[in-house]
A and B are shown apart, each in its own frame.
Chain A
Amino acid sequence: MLKVKNINTYYGQVHALKNVSLHLREGEIVTLIGANGAGKTTTLNSLSALIPPKSGEILFNGAPIASLSPDRIVELGISQVPEGRQVFKPLSVEDNLELGAYLRYRRREKRSEIRKDLEQVFALFPRLLERRKQPAGTLSGGEQQMLAIGRALMARPKLLLLDEPSMGLAPLVVQEIFAVIETLRREKGTTVLLVEQNARAALKMADRGYVMETGKVILEGEAAELLENRDVQRAYLGRDKKEIWER
Chain B
Amino acid sequence: MKREIVKFLILALLVLVVPLLLKGGYLMNVLVFVGINTMLAVALNLLLGFAGQISLGHAAFFGIGAYCSGILTATFGLNPWHAMAVAACAGTVLAFVVGFPILKLKGHYLAMATLGLGIIVYIVFNEAVNLTGGPSGLSGIPNLSVGKTVFDSDTKNYYLIWGFTLATILLSLNLAHSRIGRALRAIHDSEVAARVMGVNARLLKVRIFALSAFISAVAGSLYAHTMTFLSPASFGFNFSVELVTMVVIGGLGSIYGSLFGAVLLTLLPEMLRTFQDYDIVVYGLILILMTMFMPGGLVRGIPAMIGAVSARRGNGGNEHA
Given contacts A95-B182, A102-B183, contact A88 B196 (CB under 8 A): no
Indicate the size class of the contact surface on chain B: 10 to 19
Tell me the bound Cα distance from A86 to B179 in angstroms: 19
**Residue in B195, B197, B200 whose beta carbon sits within 8 Å of that of A100 in the complex:** B197
Whether B179 lies near A102 (C-beta < 8 A) is: yes
B66 to chain A, nearest CB (A): 35
Indicate whether B198 reaches chain A with its CB closer than 8 angstroms: yes
Q: A86-B190, A88-B186 are in contact. Are A102 and B198 (CB under 8 A)?
A: yes
* Additional 18 contacts, C-beta under 8 A, given A98-B182, A99-B182, A99-B194: A69-B200, A70-B195, A79-B196, A82-B192, A82-B196, A86-B190, A86-B193, A87-B193, A90-B189, A91-B189, A95-B185, A99-B186, A102-B182, A102-B199, A103-B198, A106-B179, A151-B197, A155-B198
Known: A91-B182, A102-B179, A105-B179. A75 touches B190 (CB 8 A): no
Q: Which residue of B lies closest to A100 (CB)?
A: B197
State whether B185 touches A88 (Cβ < 8 A): yes
Whole-angstrom distance between the alpha carbons of A80 and B179 in the complex?
Answer: 20
Task: Kindly state whether residue A48 has any CB partner on chain B within 8 Å.
Answer: yes
| Nearest-Cβ distance from residue B208 to partner chain A, whole angstroms | 15
A89 beta carbon closer than 8 Å to chain B: yes
Nearest CB of A to B247, in Å: 17
Q: Does B189 contact A82, Cβ atoms closer than 8 Å?
A: no
Contact B190 A91, beta carbon cutoff 8 Å: no
Which chain B positions have C-beta within 8 A of A63?
Answer: none
Q: Which of B133-191 contact A (CB under 8 A)?
A: 179, 182-183, 185-186, 189-190
Are the C-beta atoms of A74 and B198 separated by less than 8 Å? yes
CA distance in complex: A230, B182 (Å): 49
Residue of B nearest to A136 (CB): B189
Q: How far is the CA of A99 from the CA of B197 in the complex (A)?
A: 7
Interface string of A61-82 (1 = CB under 8 A from B): 0000000011100110001101
Instruction: Given A71-B198, A99-B186, A103-B198, check contact A50 B193 (CB 8 Å).
Output: no
A48 to B196, CA, bound (A): 7
Q: How far is the CA of A91 from the CA of B199 in the complex (A)?
A: 16
- Interface SS of B by simple majority: helix
User: When the two chains form their complex, are residues A50 and B197 in contact, meaning their CB atoms are under 8 A apart?
Assistant: no
| B182 pairs with A86, CB closer than 8 A | no
Q: Which residues of A contact B198 (CB under 8 A)?
A: 70-71, 74-75, 102-103, 155
Contact A88-B189, Cβ < 8 Å, known A151-B197, A155-B197: yes
CB distance from B213 to the nearest CB of A (A): 23
B contact residues around A152 at 8 Å (CB): 196
Instruction: State A136–B268 Cα separation when bound (angstroms).
Output: 37
Which chain B residue has the least Cβ–Cβ distance from A72? B198
- Contact string against A for B residues 1-14, beta-carbon threshold 8 Å, 1 for contact and 0 otherwise: 00000000000000
Contacts of B199 in A (CB 8 A): 71, 99, 102
A88 and B179 within 8 A (CB): no
Q: How far is the CB of A192 from chain B (nearest CB, A)?
A: 16
B193 to chain A, nearest CB (A): 4
CB contacts (< 8 Å) of B186 on chain A: these are 88, 91, 99
Q: Kindly provide the distance from the CB of B166 to the nearest chain A CB, expressed in whole angstroms.
A: 27
Inter-subunit contact B196/A74 (CB<8 Å): yes
Residues of chain B with a CB closer than 8 A to A95's CB: 182, 185
- A99 — which chain B residues lie within 8 A by C-beta? 182-183, 186, 194, 197, 199
> In the complex the two chains form, is B200's CB within 8 Å of A71's CB?
yes
CB proximity of A108 to chain B, nearest CB, Å: 10
Q: CA of A123 to CA of B27 in the docked complex: distance in angstroms?
A: 58
CA distance A151 to B197 in the complex (A): 8
Residues of A within 8 A of B192 (CB): 50, 82, 86
